[in-house]
Amino acid sequence: MAILKSYGVCLREYTPQFPRPNHGDNYKSRNVKWRSPRAAVIPDFHLPMRSFEVKNRTSAEDIKSLRLITAIKTPYLPDGRFDLEAYDDLVNIQIGNGVEGVIVGGTTGEGQLMSWDEHIMLIGHTVNCFGGSIKVIGNTGSNSTREAIHATEQGFAVGMHAALHINPYYGKTSLEGLVSHFDSVLPMGPTIIYNVPSRTGQDIPPRVINTIAQSPNLAGIKECVGNDRIEQYTGNGIVVWSGNDDQCHDARWSHGATGVISVTSNLIPGLMRELMFGGKNPSLNAKLLPLIEWLFQEPNPIGLNTALAQLGVVRPIFRLPYVPLPLAKRVEFVNLVKEIGRENFVGEEDVQVLDNDDFILVGRY
């Protein structure tokens, strides 16, 4: 501390010394040009914080081959903290049913309700426990480029295999700004770009994707605009995952999509794997559509949180502003489970209709 204090004193007492004219010279005055410290003029002085050991562990090509990726749910304890035991059970169920990757802290996982400390901790926990069995894709995107850079550096530092990046929302930017935003994070490692205009208020057009596709770290696009857009990309050799569970069967088998990044697979991972790996199966797709429509009748993850609680695999705890579906919709879910078959859903307890008083809503955590 003494050294630090003395250093601080030195800084306060230090006054820059500039050459002064020597009146003995033949010149009446001499112009002095101040030069900035070298660090201030070195290009790219802020070097990326990365480890080649982590970076080289998974390539973009490894990510491109994934067919079924689950946007995993984050469960909570009664005080609003993460329920890691329930979370671990959910991930193990995904692995046991052949899911190849998980999105950690995405919209479904409520990354928008997490602090960055929570977010990076959960990514690191997932890598530490399951990184050898499933690809861990951390949602480290942000509408702030500075935050996206920082979170992505940390995500790769704790071992995530790839990053998921959304375009800046609310404070939207230009198309050139989108390219600059994505160019700021792509050099760090394998990256999936997420296009969901219904949430961001801005479409990422093909012009932007075709520009950033020059990066070897672009693994592909999670596309929610529709199957025509998906086919436009796949026709040009760009990997695409459907972001719409209700369209993913046709996207996979008729429009060239590699697979799906799914919400529904939280509930029925085995059937979603069959949908992505088993070839065209319109009858199975039709069987699942009522469940998918039920899940998305309110903004995700409200339906999923309600369903998992009624299946007994997570506690019925919601971080506000999310609240459970109303009683009538909870009854509908029980009937859907019976129609599809309880054995196809996660968990072992009987599905039940929860009362309003069974749910805990947490605003401070």
Q: Is 271 in a helix, a strand, or coil?
A: helix
Residues 186, 163: Cα–Cα separation, whole Å: 9
Nearest to 294 by CA among 263, 259, 261: 263
Q: What type of residue is 350? A: D
How far apart CA 264 and CA 266 sit, in angstroms, is 5
**338 tagged catalytic:** no
The closest alpha carbon to 140, from 157, 70, 362, belongs to 157
The region that residue 352 occupies, defined by phi over 0 for left and psi between -120 and 50 for alpha, beta otherwise, is: beta
Compute the 3-state secondary structure of the chain and give helix, strand, coil in percent, each to the nearest 5. Answer: 45, 10, 40
DSSP label at residue 263: S
Catalytic residue among 76, 87, 194, 233: 194
Name 236's Cβ contacts closer than 8 Å, sequence gap at least 6: 210
Helix and strand counts by DSSP (H, E) for the chain: 15, 10
365 is catalytic: no
Hey, CA dihedral for 98, 104, 106, 110, is it positive or negative? positive
Q: Which residues of 335-360 are buried (b: 16+ CB within 10 A; e: fewer)?
A: ebbeebeeebbbbeeebeebeeeebe
Label residues 95-114 b or e (16+ Cβ within 10 Å = b).
Answer: eebbbbbbbbbbbbbbbebb
DSSP one-letter code for 170: S
**Residue in this structure with the two tokens 């792509």, named with its chain if needed:** 186
Phi then psi dihedrals of residue 272, to 5 deg = -70, -35
Q: Which of 222, 280, 322, 338 is catalytic?
A: 222
Q: State the catalytic residues.
A: 194, 222
